[in-house]
A and B are shown apart, each in its own frame.
Chain A
Amino acid sequence: MPMRLVASVIALAAVAVGAIGARAQDVARQPGAVYDFDKKGEKPAPASKRDLTGVWEPAAGPNGGVQATGAGAMPSDGKPEHELPFTPLGRETFMAHKPTFGVTQVPSALTNDLMPGCNPQGFPRIVLHNFRTSRIIQAPENMVILYEFNKKWRVIWTDGRQLPKNAEEPTWGNPDPPESRWWGYSVGKWADDYTFVAESNGFDDRTWLDNAGRPHSDALHVIEQYRRIDQDHLEMTITIDDPKMYTKPWVAVKLRLRRQAPSFDIREMECAPIETEEYNKQFADPAAGLDSGK
């Protein structure tokens, strides 16, 4: 092996070590916004009452909410403790899905996941697959959450309205016709001064719950809890309740979030079909052996 190549290998190894655990390196950060992170010995002020406003990022870092192998608390890794309480229909539907991660994974080009083609991932997959830096805007009548991943947003109504009574034929009421939605219908209220609870239903059942192909039906009911730990921290807990697919409700993720500066500019992460097409043509298809020429 030539000495210059040896030097390159050493340099690459150093990068790899740094990526694992080093906390002693300044790196290029997002222009105009420096990530705030937990520091030893800090004691944040108590949280403001009934306030979720702000830019929130997983406290573990920008990638701390990326759950590639499925919902963070129950990844699809084959471990008995992560086996979901499937109904027979739930298991059958799960096995019909072809995700790119988890125990039933296939190469990217062979997946039947709609999301890589830039179709909507919907809720709750946005938080069970790729929860990234997000901004919560609190208004008198609702909470609006702006998500970095695929540049999406949703509304949780706090004006006293009730969830659609029939999740399978959802509507806010007459004269609106029933309409299942990729992002569902969401309402929320404060359980106490520091805990906000939202519930959602009325989902389009073409979406998956997570990146590992866990299914949901049109009877899906999602419970979201946001608990203010202190001024700088928020804990998000997502519970899945879908009696058609699962025999009992299960907690899908519990994620500690860190508040960022109000000036933080959330980066654009848009799924563009023209870019996806190029990626598939140049990379994903040949990687799966689906191209003819390369």
Chain B
Amino acid sequence: MKNPYVKPIAWAFAVVMVTLPLWAHHGNAAFDSDKRVTMKGTVTEWFWANPHCFLQFDVKDASGNVVHWVAEGSNPPDMINHGWTKGVLKVGDQITVTVIPVKNGKPIGRIAGVVLPNGQTLDGGFGAPPAPKQ
């Protein structure tokens, strides 16, 4: 049955994400900045490093074929300010990832958001971190 809430929620999400500034060392030119792809996958590597951390994960497509994705986050100090750690992901973790894909159609993107196995949600580490309570 078609869920009447899916479309409005997806649009709201898209609008909100597009407004986020992308403050990376490296440019936006390769990315399809208005597009978002959300998928479930299995972590194969979480690389914690400068200039950018990156996440590798496998996703099964509709035909059951495995597609290997690579998505970058921000640098470690920014990732920490956004709630990430070096050990937050382990090989084999089942996660839901939203990426800003590259324009060339390859399974490569920039992390827009991740839902961890414990249900915790994190953004890609770009832009201002949430401020503490006043």
Contact = CB atoms under 8 A, between A and B. Distances in A.
Contacts of B112: 12, 16
A282 B70 contact: yes
Contacts of A116: 25-26, 51
Contacts of B5: 6
A40 B134 contact: yes
Contact of B133 (A26, A30, A40, A275): A26
B49 A37 contact: no
B59 interface: no
B30 A15 contact: no
Interface string A234-272: 000000000000000000000000000000000101111
Nearest to A284: B26
A22 B130 contact: yes
B50 A272 contact: yes
A16 B16 contact: yes
Contacts of A10: 9, 13
B133 A278 contact: no
B70 to A, nearest CB: 5
A112 B27 CA distance: 13
A239 B47 CA distance: 39
A286 interface: yes
Given A12-B98, A283-B108, A63 B132 contact: no
B27 A16 contact: no
A108 B31 CA distance: 11
Contacts of B23: 63, 66, 68
B128 A61 contact: yes
A28 interface: yes
Given A22-B130, A101-B27, A6 B20 contact: no
Contacts of A283: 52, 54, 70, 72, 108
A16 B70 contact: no
A15 B128 contact: no
Nearest to B71: A283
Interface string B75-90: 1111011110100000
B118 to A, nearest CB: 12
A66 B127 CA distance: 9
Interface in B11-50: 12-13, 16-17, 19-20, 22-31, 38, 40, 47, 49-50
B63 interface: no
17 contacts: A3-B3, A12-B13, A15-B113, A15-B123, A18-B130, A25-B131, A28-B80, A29-B81, A62-B129, A100-B26, A100-B29, A111-B27, A267-B80, A270-B50, A279-B52, A287-B30, A287-B102
10 nearest A-B pairs in the assembled complex, by CB-CB distance: A100-B27, A12-B113, A275-B49, A13-B13, A107-B30, A8-B96, A108-B26, A16-B16, A267-B77, A287-B30
Given A28-B81, A61-B129, A282-B70, 19 more contacts: A6-B9, A13-B9, A13-B16, A16-B17, A16-B20, A19-B128, A22-B130, A23-B133, A25-B130, A27-B129, A60-B128, A62-B81, A63-B23, A64-B128, A105-B28, A108-B29, A276-B50, A279-B52, A283-B108
